[in-house]
């Protein structure tokens, strides 16, 4: 199964890697669209996290910035827990995004650890995630919740 892999670097220079399954690119002509969707997903994830992306993988592999993030809040143990479901069988799956941007209050509902679904950055993230990601069974997915976890 194909996937998008992203390695985050936090303020303490710790690394954490995530992998997001996605459908295979089976037709050479589909590669540019798949790469565009991958880039949109990486950009959307970058918009809601504080760490620097040390590496991203989508054939070919691309090594990104090795610099430390500017914010000391960027920590690999500070995470957005993304809950999503398989659109066919309803199976629930999770993805943890390290170095969550908890410093930007607008990303969360007031006095809450839950994301603000009306925030434009989350709208972009969800659209990019759902356009690229698939469940472990290979089906389309829908994001159902995002919550800050430490």
For the chain, state the CA radius of gyration.
Answer: 15
Four-point Cα dihedral 14, 93, 109, 71, nearest 10: 10
26-81: per-residue pLDDT in tens? 766 777 888 888 899 999 999 999 999 998 988 644 456 678 999 999 999 999 99
C-alpha distances (whole Å) from 120 to each of 10, 18, 103, 106 are: 24, 23, 16, 10
Domain extent for 36: 2-149
Q: What is the pLDDT of residue 141?
A: 97
Token representation of residue 48: 């809601």
Specify the pTM. 0.74
Nearest Cα to 58, choosing from 33, 34, 92?
A: 34
**Domain count for the chain:** 1
Mean pLDDT, rounded, for 71-97? 96
Q: Find the helix packing angle between 120-132 and 31-47, rounded to 10°.
A: 140
């Amino acid at each position: 199964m194909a996937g998008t892999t992203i390695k985050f670097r936090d303020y303490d220079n710790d690394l954490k890697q995530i992998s997001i399954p996605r459908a295979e690119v089976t037709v050479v002509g589909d590669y540019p669209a798949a790469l565009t969707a991958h880039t949109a997903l990486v950009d959307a994830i970058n918009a809601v996290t504080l760490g620097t992306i040390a590496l991203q993988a989508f054939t070919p592999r691309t090594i990104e910035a090795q610099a430390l993030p500017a914010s000391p809040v960027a920590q690999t143990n500070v995470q957005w827990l993304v809950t999503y479901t398989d659109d066919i069988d309803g199976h629930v799956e999770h993805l943890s995004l390290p170095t969550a941007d908890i410093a930007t209050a607008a990303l969360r509902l007031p006095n809450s650890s839950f994301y603000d679904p009306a925030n434009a950055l989350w709208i972009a993230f969800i659209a990019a995630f759902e356009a690229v990601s698939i469940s472990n069974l290979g089906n389309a997915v829908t994001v159902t919740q995002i919550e800050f976890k430490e």
